[in-house]
Each structure stands twice: as C-alpha cells, then as structure tokens.
C-alpha cells in the first residue's frame, strides 16, 4: 500500500495511491479523516483500518504530481545515519566505522517532492544522495533486532542534499545537512523485500536522466 499526503482546495489530506490515482482516506461520514500520513499513523490501528477500507472502496481520482506533499508534514524527529554505504565511505577516503554515525535534520529542512531546493550562495560544494528512509509508526525502546520491522510504518526514498564544505568544518555535520525531498510511504508488506533493503548487503542506486549516478553496497 502506498500512502501519501496531497494538497487540495480544502487543505491537505492523507490518501492511498494506486496506479497514478489517489483516494482520500475518509471517515464513516465520507469526510476527510487525516490531514497527513503522520496523523494517520498517530491514530494507530484505526488509521490502518481506514487506509485498508480506502483500498477496497475509496473514490480514486487522477493524481497530479504538483499535489504531492511530503508524507509526514511535521515529524517529531529526523534522525539520519551517516557513513552507511561502503563505496561512499571509501570514495571519501575514510576508514569503515565500528559504530553508526548519527546526525539530525530539522523537520523544516524537509521539502515536498517536486519543490525547488534553493542552493546556498555561500558554497559551490552542494552534493546529493539517494537514501532509504524508515518511517517509525509506533514508539518503543530496546526493541530486539528481529522485531524491528514491527515498529516501522513504511519506507520511502529521500534525496539528501548536503553542503560538503560546511559539513567538514567541524566534527558536527549539522551545518552541512540541508533539504531533503520525499514522495510517498510504502508499507512494509508492499515493499520489495524490505529486510534485504535495510540489512547488510543491501544495494542503493540513484538514477538520473543522464544515467546512473550512484551505486553502492551497504556496510
């Protein structure tokens, strides 16, 4: 199942996306139930059931890409893992890390999928990377590795924009981590072998109109 947030004359709405068409997730009175995917996830089982009903009985209409907003409009936290692909680590001349490198982005750094990303005038070292994003659906602590996917509501893709010279000025990467763009969320049951995507040996590739620009294996 693909879940997205779209704009409309009546405000934003969480929708189910199928074959280029979208259906607003509604309540029992045929009214818009959720302003975004984040609100749907916060509603727990009720939100999941509403999305499933929409798949079966929703009113699907043509979806324009200009309608697409980021799935979660105001996430509580954006936690990123750096140095997570072997080829990228080696091309930067770094040693493979023993432990993950974490950094954060401000929620306001997330942009809508087809919006323009303003580039800073103070740098000409802007870079981009395709990243796999896990959207957490429920809270937890000390979750065993074999149960990790039970806490994940879905996965999406992100274009991670970095300002490399600012990033390298200190040991803290925050200043060099700028905008990121996401489109929709795909639930784990619909994602193609999510365990392989997230586990050791997973492969990440970024394609551009001019050809493939990134192809790396996870550490």
**66-116 pLDDT, tens per residue?**
999 999 999 999 998 887 778 878 887 888 888 888 888 888 888 999 988
**CA-CA distances (angstroms) from residue 126 to 86, 88, 101, 157, 170?**
21, 16, 21, 19, 17
Domain hosting 11: range is: 2-69
pLDDT tens, residue by residue, 116-155: 888 888 888 888 888 889 999 987 889 999 999 989 999 9
Residue 166 and residue 137 in one domain: yes
Residue 74 domain flag: no
Closest by CA to 102, choosing from 70, 139, 77, is: 77
Is residue 198's pLDDT more than 50?
A: no
Reported pTM: 0.81
Domain identity same for 84 and 154? yes
Q: Count of domains in the chain?
A: 2
CATH of the domain at 202: 3.90.850.10
Same domain, 125 and 35: no
């Amino acid at each position: 199942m693909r879940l997205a947030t779209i704009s409309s004359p009546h405000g934003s709405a969480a929708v189910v996306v199928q074959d280029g068409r979208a259906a607003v997730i509604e309540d029992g009175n045929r009214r818009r139930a959720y302003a975004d995917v984040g609100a749907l996830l916060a509603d727990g089982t009720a939100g999941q059931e509403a999305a499933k009903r929409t798949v079966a009985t929703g009113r699907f209409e043509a979806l324009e890409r200009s309608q697409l907003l980021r799935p979660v409009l105001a996430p509580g936290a954006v936690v990123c893992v750096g140095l997570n692909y072997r080829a990228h680590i080696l091309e930067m001349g770094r040693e493979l890390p023993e432990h993950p490198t974490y950094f954060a982005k401000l929620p306001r750094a997330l942009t809508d999928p087809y919006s323009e990303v303003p580039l800073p005038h103070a740098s000409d070292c802007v870079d981009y990377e395709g990243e796999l994003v896990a959207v957490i659906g429920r809270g937890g602590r000390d979750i065993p590795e074999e149960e990790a996917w039970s806490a994940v509501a879905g996965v999406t893709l992100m274009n991670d924009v970095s300002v490399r010279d600012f990033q390298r000025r200190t040991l803290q990467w925050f200043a060099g981590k700028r905008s990121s763009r996401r489109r929709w969320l795909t639930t784990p049951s619909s994602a193609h072998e999510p365990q392989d995507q997230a586990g050791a040996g997973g492969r990440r590739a970024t394609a551009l109109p001019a050809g493939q620009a990134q192809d790396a294996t996870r550490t």
